[in-house]
A = this chain, B = another copy of it.
Amino acid sequence: MVDLLALGKKAKLAARRLALSSTQQKNDFLHLLAKNLEIQQERIIAANGLDISAAHAVGLSEAMIDRLLLTPERLAAIARDLSRVADLVDPIGEIFDNVSLANGLKVYKQRVPVGVLAVIYESRPNVTVDISALAVKSGNVVILRGGSETIHSNGELVKVIQTTLEMVKLPSDAVLFINEPDRQHVLGLLKMHETIDLVIPRGGASLHRFCKENSLIPVIVGGIGICHLFVDESADLEKALKIIHNAKTQRPSVCNALDTVLVHTRISHAFIPTLVDWLKKDGVSFRMDGPALQIYGENVNPSVTLAGEKDFDTEWLSLVLGVKVVDTIDEAIEHIAEHSTGHSDGILTNQLDAAEKFTALVDSAAVYVNASTRFTDGGQLGLGAEVAISTQRLHARGPMGLRELTTYKWVIHGQGHIRP
């Protein structure tokens, strides 16, 4: 059994050292890790082979097995990402909200790491390297708990990471790994509020719920997106088709993919049949509310059916699209308030007042005007990388990059100041 308490103590000690490491040291680590992944390529791929064999033995789908697979090309891509993280600005040490008070006290805030992160994830072994890179660059120690199906790959990757940490004189305990698939360890981690500062689950809704319900530690809840686009009566319909096509079909299995289109009634007759024609070529099927189905015509196309009761509360993660006719922008906003998970929602319009109303009243992590919801991504929105997409309201919302893995302390300089 892994001794979680001992692990937590190691993490806490390493966190104090890592918080004080220089940007140069952290970047050296990232560049050297890229090299070491190449040097150790054979060992890593051999370990990955054990996971792949095990996956075949238990009959995992080819799609799942492909997600686990490491190849020299994939390792090279992971190494390239490391250089990109090295290029990002180090957020640690930044001084902000600098003020000199009337009594002469000098007050500022200084950005510091959150401390110790626990990341609980599934499947893809690239996450092991990605998260380690972002954690170390932001000065955070990370305890990794990957899926049992990649335990050999992860074990080997973590060895390379820890060796590299030592080589640049960073604490090797800055990246810790739970190398046993026992599920009890997840529960154990969630109770370690003395040593862990933040839990980041990366996985499905049930993992997020489990963490939220059992954790004594703050959890970043996120990654679940029931996303909407509202096609306003003034929308450029050609652009609207392209945006919806992109948001639904470019990568349907991810959280920022589109789930429901709301169509203003004034353009619904012109728009809905064209929309179906455009998207069905790419295999999209449709769940329509009564009015939308009436416009398209029932039984015309087997991939167009009446939406069931829960269809507008479903994150499809596949080529299914809900379609609903609304009479007004207010009805669209109301529908979003009721059914959105607060991830990414947008309006397609040419009217400034409609855009303004929508962005004021829709309170999701990312609110769009005339753009695809697929941009809700740390890389796309200029953060350079992302550790998670938060759909909770505290600490950080939407894509979380390096800065979102930090907190601050107040530093107050006096000259013998006492409180009157």
A positions within 8 Å CB-CB of B: 16, 19-20, 99, 101, 105, 107, 110, 112, 114-115, 193, 197-198, 212-213, 216, 218, 236, 239, 242-243, 245-247, 250, 337, 346, 355, 359-361, 363-372, 374-376, 380-382, 392-395, 397-399, 407-419
Closest to A106 in B: B369
Closest to A360 in B: B20
Is there contact, CB below 8 Å, between B374 and A419? yes
Is there contact, CB below 8 Å, between A236 and B105? no
Closest to A193 in B: B212
Across-interface contacts of A16 in B (CB, < 8 A): 337, 361, 363
Complex CA distance for A144 and B418, rounded to whole angstroms = 34
Interface of A is mostly: mixed
- Shortest distance from the beta carbon of A60 to any chain B beta carbon, whole Å: 29
- Shortest distance from the beta carbon of A375 to any chain B beta carbon, whole Å: 6
Sort A-B residue pairs by CB-CB distance and give the 3 closest, nearest first. A371-B414, A246-B418, A239-B416
Complex CA distance for A97 and B363, rounded to whole angstroms = 18
Copies of this chain present in the complex amount to: 2
- Shortest distance from the beta carbon of A409 to any chain B beta carbon, whole Å: 6
Complex CA distance for A159 and B398, rounded to whole angstroms = 38
**Contact status of A382 and B114, CB under 8 A, knowing A369-B413, A415-B370:** no
Across-interface contacts of A337 in B (CB, < 8 A): 16
* CB-defined A-B contacts under 8 Å, sample of 15: A101-B381, A193-B212, A239-B416, A243-B417, A246-B418, A246-B419, A366-B412, A368-B412, A369-B414, A370-B415, A371-B417, A372-B414, A374-B419, A380-B419, A381-B410
- Shortest distance from the beta carbon of A186 to any chain B beta carbon, whole Å: 17
Across-interface contacts of A395 in B (CB, < 8 A): 394-395
Across-interface contacts of A409 in B (CB, < 8 A): 363-367, 397-398
Q: Name the one of B245, B394, B419 contacting A218, with C-beta atoms under 8 angstroms.
A: B394
Complex CA distance for A247 and B416, rounded to whole angstroms = 12
Across-interface contacts of A367 in B (CB, < 8 A): 409-412
Across-interface contacts of A355 in B (CB, < 8 A): 413
Q: Name the one of B243, B245, B359, B416 contacting A236, with C-beta atoms under 8 angstroms.
A: B416
- Shortest distance from the beta carbon of A120 to any chain B beta carbon, whole Å: 17
Is there contact, CB below 8 Å, between B407 and A393? yes
Is there contact, CB below 8 Å, between B410 and A397? yes
Complex CA distance for A371 and B19, rounded to whole angstroms = 25
Complex CA distance for A409 and B340, rounded to whole angstroms = 14
Complex CA distance for A149 and B53, rounded to whole angstroms = 66
Across-interface contacts of A374 in B (CB, < 8 A): 418-419
